[in-house]
């Protein structure tokens, strides 16, 4: 005899033990999943987390949800550089994953295909405090929340304490301090660096410099494009001087992992980046971990400003499991699960809830605080520095630049301002495509999660040297598809690495 199983949507109710409970909360409280959910499957797509333990924890939580609910949750982790193309392919084909991780401006880019999750976000804000302004600029699109913010990263400066002392310099308080120190450091074989390439790290640093010098790409009215200014010219001059006098040419081929590997290899002396390099250095017990210091992002003539990089979890409209996806997000953002995931990142993952600002374990650890600020951007002497470090404006938040730019133009634009700035500063060619920009530089992508290392390996040293050898073998800035990648991978295999 066949019988149609009852539907259990997010509004469905389960009665058990005299209690009436709703949705997934009821299922978990009851300790059993309805038979109709056994065949359900959720697919979640996220960018690789640069604190590897966080990806392990997310997989663990997915299995925990599966065990409790009966819904199979599969998590796919891909490199952040692959996410835009993957998301674009899925929204065009209306097939793929159910839940996706959205970084920076992605909720604006993919708004036609995203489910309104305002009910979840509004409930979380009632429980944990109003969302930070940068979180709203990130995922609150035309009065609808299209993603639930789950983390952000800040961009402090990371410096080799011993190398700066060797040239009689302290950690740079201003960008001009960095240029002065960088010139000395390059002379002793340890230049400074940040990505000048088509990566989100490059965007984050170059926007920081633009704002610190008073430049901006769009006016406060959200309509007027303002990138063509004397302030922008000053930034171009500064970045050109910094690149020529103080940096390693390798920055032109870096992906988002490039600066991490470079600093941990012992070659670099300073980077502008979240603390993921430090997390890995501690895990791998590298000597550089004890020599690395942290300081607020440098200031400029117009103040101290920098980018916070938020991420949210969204749901595709085409998903056949929107109700279950909503329940998964509600479960994930319960304090028990959310706190556990945030803390797995060893201060790399910054919480998006205001009531976690003073969480004793979310404040980071002593080494970060001793260097003038913990991973959340707090300074040991100044209350409120987190807002200035992370959000980019003294005393408060700033809008996500891409959101305002998209609102002003109505176009699916890439990060034109910073990338064109990078090209002009270092003399690269620029090809404009679809009213966006594509800086014509080439490089390789060596990601440690793709490889099984030999027992005595030092990933950061090996990957940096293999990248360097590949660039030396194929010189110049002209893109030669795949050639550098092949040579770099052969180099790793020659050192005993095996592809997963």
Question: Rg for the chain (alpha carbons), in Å?
Answer: 23
- Over range 311-336, report the average pLDDT: 94
- What pLDDT is attached to residue 23? 55
- What pLDDT is attached to residue 146? 97
Cβ neighbour number for residue 32 with a 10 Å cutoff: 13
- Over range 77-106, report the average pLDDT: 90
Cβ neighbour number for residue 350 with a 10 Å cutoff: 26
Domain 21-153+310-356, CATH: 3.40.190.10
- What pLDDT is attached to residue 174? 97
Q: How far apart are CA 321 and CA 478, in angstroms?
A: 45
| 411: pLDDT strictly greater than 60 | no
Q: pLDDT grade, residue 499 (50/70/90)?
A: confident
Most confident of 276-285, 295-304, 448-457: 295-304
Q: How far apart are CA 260 and CA 246, in angstroms?
A: 18
Angle, CA 145 vertex, CA 139 and CA 151 arms, to 5°: 45
For 457, the token pair is: 């390996």
- The pTM for the full model equals 0.65
| 107: pLDDT strictly greater than 60 | yes
- What pLDDT is attached to residue 219? 84
Pairwise pLDDT comparison (304 vs 154), residue with the higher score: 304
Q: How far apart are CA 260 and CA 254, in angstroms?
A: 10
Q: Is 54 helix (H, G, I), strand (E, B) or coil?
A: helix
**Which residues lie closer than 8 Å to 84 by C-beta, 6 or more apart?**
106, 109
Most confident of 204-208, 267-271, 447-451: 267-271
| 420: pLDDT strictly greater than 50 | yes
Mean pLDDT estimate for the chain: 76
Query: Which CATH class for the 157-307+377-441 domain?
Result: alpha beta
| 320: pLDDT strictly greater than 70 | yes
- What is the number of residues in the chain? 500
Give one word for 96, left, alpha or beta, with left for phi > 0 and alpha for psi -120 to 50: left
Q: Which residue shows structure tokens 């990371």?
A: 158
- What pLDDT is attached to residue 410? 33
Is the CA virtual torsion 262, 268, 274, 277 positive or negative?
Answer: positive
Torsion on CA atoms 322, 323, 324, 329, rounded to nearest 10: 80
Most confident of 312-321, 451-460, 461-470: 312-321
- What pLDDT is attached to residue 451? 79
- What pLDDT is attached to residue 71? 92
Q: Is 57 helix (H, G, I), strand (E, B) or coil?
A: helix
- Over range 364-373, report the average pLDDT: 40
| 497: pLDDT strictly greater than 70 | yes
- Over range 155-159, report the average pLDDT: 90
- Over range 381-392, report the average pLDDT: 29
- On the question of a common fold for 21-153+310-356 and 157-307+377-441, the answer reads yes
- Of all residues in the chain, what percent carry a pLDDT higher than 90? 39
Pairwise pLDDT comparison (280 vs 148), residue with the higher score: 148
Q: What are φ and ψ of residue 438, in 5° steps? A: -135, 100
Q: pLDDT grade, residue 427 (50/70/90)?
A: low
Asked if residues 381 and 368 have their Cβ atoms less than 8 Å apart, the reply is: no
| 34: pLDDT strictly greater than 90 | no
Query: Which range, of 218-227, 262-271, 431-440, 488-497, averages the lowest pLDDT?
Result: 431-440
Pairwise pLDDT comparison (363 vs 425), residue with the higher score: 425
Q: What are φ and ψ of residue 55, in 5° steps? A: -70, -40
Q: Give the start-to-end residue ranges of the domains of the chain.
A: 21-153+310-356, 157-307+377-441
- What pLDDT is attached to residue 281? 86
């Amino acid at each position: 005899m066949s019988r149609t199983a009852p539907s259990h949507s997010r509004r469905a109710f389960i009665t058990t033990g005299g209690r009436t409970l709703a949705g997934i909360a009821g299922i978990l409280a009851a300790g059993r999943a309805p038979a109709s959910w056994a065949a359900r499957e959720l697919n979640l797509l996220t960018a690789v987390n640069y604190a590897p333990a966080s990806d392990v924890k997310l997989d663990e939580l997915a299995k925990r949800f599966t065990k409790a609910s009966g819904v199979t949750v599969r998590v796919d982790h891909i490199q952040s550089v692959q996410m835009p193309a993957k998301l674009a392919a899925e929204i065009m084909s209306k097939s793929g994953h159910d839940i996706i991780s959205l970084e920076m401006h992605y909720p604006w880019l993919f708004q036609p295909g995203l489910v309104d999750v305002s009910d979840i976000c509004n409930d979380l804000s009632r429980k944990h405090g109003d969302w930070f302004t940068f979180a709203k600029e990130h995922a609150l699109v035309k009065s609808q929340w299209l993603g639930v913010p789950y983390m952000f990263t800040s961009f402090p400066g990371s410096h080799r304490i011993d190398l700066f002392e060797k040239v009689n310099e302290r950690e740079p308080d201003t960008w001009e301090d960095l240029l002065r120190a960088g010139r000395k450091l390059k002379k002793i074989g340890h230049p400074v660096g940040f990505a000048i390439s088509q990566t989100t790290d490059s965007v984050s640093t170059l926007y920081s410099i633009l704002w610190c010098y008073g430049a901006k790409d769009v006016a406060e009215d959200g309509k007027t494009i303002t990138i063509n200014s004397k302030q922008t010219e000053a930034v171009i001059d500064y970045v050109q001087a910094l690149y020529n006098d103080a940096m390693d040419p390798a920055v032109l081929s870096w992906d988002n992992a490039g600066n991490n590997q470079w600093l941990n290899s012992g070659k670099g002396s300073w980077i502008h980046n979240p603390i993921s390099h430090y997390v890995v250095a501690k895990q791998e017990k590298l000597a550089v971990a004890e020599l690395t210091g942290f300081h607020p992002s440098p200031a400029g003539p117009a103040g101290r400003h920098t980018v916070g990089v938020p991420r949210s979890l969204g749901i595709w409209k085409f998903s056949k499991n929107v109700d279950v996806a909503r329940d998964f997000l509600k479960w994930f953002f319960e304090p028990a699960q959310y706190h556990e995931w945030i803390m797995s990142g060893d201060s790399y993952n910054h919480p998006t809830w205001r009531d976690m600002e003073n969480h004793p374990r979310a404040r980071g650890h002593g080494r970060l605080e001793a260097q003038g600020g913990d991973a959340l951007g707090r300074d040991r002497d100044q209350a409120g520095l987190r807002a200035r470090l992370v959000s980019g404006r003294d005393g408060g938040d700033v809008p996500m630049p891409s959101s305002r730019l998209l609102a002003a133009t109505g176009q699916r634009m890439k990060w034109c301002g910073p990338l064109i700035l990078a090209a002009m500063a270092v003399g690269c060619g620029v090809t404009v495509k679809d009213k966006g920009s594509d800086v014509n530089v080439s490089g390789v992508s060596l990601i440690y999660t793709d490889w099984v290392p030999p027992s005595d390996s030092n990933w950061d040293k090996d990957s940096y040297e293999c990248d360097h050898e590949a660039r030396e073998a194929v010189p110049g800035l002209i893109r030669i598809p795949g050639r550098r990648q092949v040579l770099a991978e052969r180099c790793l295999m020659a050192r005993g690495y095996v592809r997963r």
